[in-house]
Chain A
Amino acid sequence: MIQTFQLMKQVLTHPFNFYNDIQEPKKIRWIDAIIVIVLAFLAKMISIVVTGYAFQTREAYEVSYMQELVWLVVPWLTWSIANWGVSAILDGEGKFKEVFVGSAFALVPYVIMIVPVTLLTNLLALDENSIYSFLVNVAIYWSAWLLLIKVKVLHDFEPWKVIWITILSIIGIAIIWFIGILLFGLMNQLINFLTELWQELNFRR
């Protein structure tokens, strides 16, 4: 746990060193990534709860914990898989574990910033919205920046190739989602078919 926090501190202060260091053997554990993602989820939920009334865009009943979790975990997982896969084909050096943990740690700025920034909404009026949205954007762009550094350092790419790989990874994510939804639909049909078949057979017994 403490180790994870130390890593979090490092990714904020020295991102290049951080992504260099995690390539050393035994430096990172799978659990580090899980801890960061859990923290990100908690930060997101807390920020939804502490949003000031004027800034709320959803009623309490419109917020689903499950949905928020899915929208956090699924993009992260698919990004890890797509980015790892694409870079593995195009001479990237990163291992899947490094990509997996490195992507999770890119969310650290968001984890750190979002709760204090959202607490601000309790002190701000709607016409001061720009302050709030600026700070939220800082958190998001910082995270995106870390993600790019991650791609660069872990796979040891040139800057232009980083952008190219990032675009390819996003396309990869789209393909994974498409196939996922397709498979989900087909499986649904198959399971429906099998249950109906079973029911039909039962009727004729």
Chain B
Amino acid sequence: MRVMKCVTAAVVAFALLFTFIPGESSAATPYQGYIWSSKGRDVASINGYVYKQSIDGFEMPSGAFSAPEDVFVAEDNSVYIVDTGNSRVVQLDSSLKYVRTIGDSEGDGVLSEPKGVYVTPDGTIYVADTKNARIALFDKNGKYMKQFGKPESPLIGDTFSYSPSKLLVDKRGYMFVVSDGNTQGLLQIDQKGAFKGFYGANHIGFSWGRLLRNMFATDAQKSQMATIKPLEFSNAVLDNEGFIFTTTLGTETSQIKRLSPVGVDTIGGNRQFGDRWSNGPFMVSSFVDVSVDSNGIFTALDLQTSKVFQYDKLGNMLFAFGGLGDQNGLFVTPSALAQSTDGTLYVADKGRNRIDLFRTTPFARLVQKASALYVDGRYDEAESLWNEVLRENANYELAYLAIGKALYKAERYKEAMSYFKLANSRGDYSVAFKEYRKEYMRDHFFSICLILVGAVILLRYLIPWVWRLVARRIRTKRPNRGVQQGGGIPQ
């Protein structure tokens, strides 16, 4: 019996031993990377971003976050979290340590459900204090400085409901403010708080249906119809070249725009960002935030699919990740997106009251490096990087296109043609083919001339001769039928 007990104890002890060995943690992501091919199909790809950690404020002096609506990463990588539910902005340093809470408990510095924040390089903090309908300014020590209320201008009108939700400040100190529900564009407000006009409004496209309705509808019917307004912006972000990225709700194409200083979209081409069809034919992606890195690679957050999409400067898709769900790496209700200089992406999840951090994979770093060179037109330098991309993922269409362009630039047209073929790029293929044709003609001029002369002789003399020969043979073979038909056909 004793022996039995000993053995049991030993077995139990042995078994317990295993429980202290940490279980092998799985590195699997809850999503599969993919890209949209030019043929409109989703092609599996290597993940560019994987979940790293979350910040929820529990272990910080600030306490837990509540429904964060925005996250901003300043140039020194310090993080500003707009904690909308708690009506404050929480500042963290670059190592994600708590620094301070912005928003006073009394006085003019009290915030009321702010939805956006922007920090200028000198550390001034601009808060879009939504419920108070103002922009509140705090200095770099978090001390309340001043405020800008609803701008006054005949352009805006009295009925305008001012509800600033997102903002950015350009180099001149002009504020560009997104006001919820406003379809006239971004509000430009100068350093003194004076209204300087609307910027970059969306246009109403032409529609046959509307033309027809307006032609036949009576005035009474027209007054019953809903007025058509341009689509509203959901967000605006400044890139380091002074261009303003905007996201637009309720449209299938050009949801993300890169507006030049005069308000013209420079991505162009009516591109369809986000997923295609997977939302269903009548659902469109609704991008709520965008983030741009120093190479112009922009990352956008789609609320519809809860996915994050990354594009290069020209709008070519690089990566997609995230999705709707409860696992780490998926989102409940994502609301904002930002990135630090090392490429880490911060995604604010309003539904789960936390900020999720995603780190780049080596594949993403490779693609981004190659893409930056490619976009700059340094095709030859990018070529070896793209080859490396293809070694890791042979289905990466953009790589074929980029290598094709490098080969084209190196005047290796035939090889370029085969790469353009793989990239499904008929236009580029045709351009390379034209060069190849020129080259081929030059090299084989004599033989081509010879073939042409031969063809002329063949068509003019040889084939008619054979034809006559055959016709004569048939006529002599079947004289009766030949005679019968001969009359009908005038020769």
Contact = CB atoms under 8 A, between A and B. Distances in A.
B269 interface: no
A91 B241 CA distance: 77
| Residue of A3, A10, A59, A125 contacting most chain B CB atoms (<10 Å) | A125
A196 interface: no
A21 B430 contact: no
A145 B424 CA distance: 38
Interface string A1-26: 01100100010001001000100100
Contacts of A24: 488
B42 to A, nearest CB: 17
Nearest to A123: B437
Interface SS, B side: helix
B430 A125 contact: yes
Interface string B423-442: 00011011101100100000
Contacts of A56: 426
Contacts of A53: 421, 426, 429
A6 B481 CA distance: 13
A6 B437 CA distance: 39
Contact of A2 (B427, B433, B474): B474
B427 A10 contact: no
B485 interface: yes
Contacts of B39: 59
Contacts of A17: 490
Interface string B468-480: 0000001000000
A125 B433 contact: yes
Given A2-B474, A125-B433, A54 B489 contact: no
A125 B435 CA distance: 10
Contacts of B474: 2
Interface residues of B, number: 15
Contacts of A27: 488
Given A2-B474, A123-B437, A125-B434, A54 B488 contact: no
A127 interface: yes
B220 to A, nearest CB: 37
Given A2-B474, A53-B421, A126 B430 contact: yes
A6 B489 contact: yes
Interface string A110-146: 0000000000000101110000000000000000000
A77 to B, nearest CB: 27
B290 to A, nearest CB: 34
A54 B433 contact: yes
Contacts of B433: 54, 125
A39 B490 CA distance: 24
A71 to B, nearest CB: 23
A56 B430 CA distance: 11
B437 to A, nearest CB: 7
A125 B426 contact: no
A6 B475 CA distance: 13
A54 B429 contact: yes
Given A53-B421, A123-B437, A14 B430 contact: no
A21 B488 CA distance: 7
Nearest to A52: B433
Contacts of B485: 3, 6
11 contacts: A6-B485, A6-B489, A10-B490, A17-B490, A53-B421, A53-B426, A53-B429, A54-B426, A59-B39, A125-B430, A126-B431
**Chain A to chain B: the 7 pairs with minimum beta-carbon distance, closest first:** A126-B430, A54-B430, A125-B434, A125-B430, A54-B426, A21-B488, A54-B429
Interface of A: 2-3, 6, 10, 14, 17, 21, 24, 27, 53-54, 56, 59, 123, 125-127
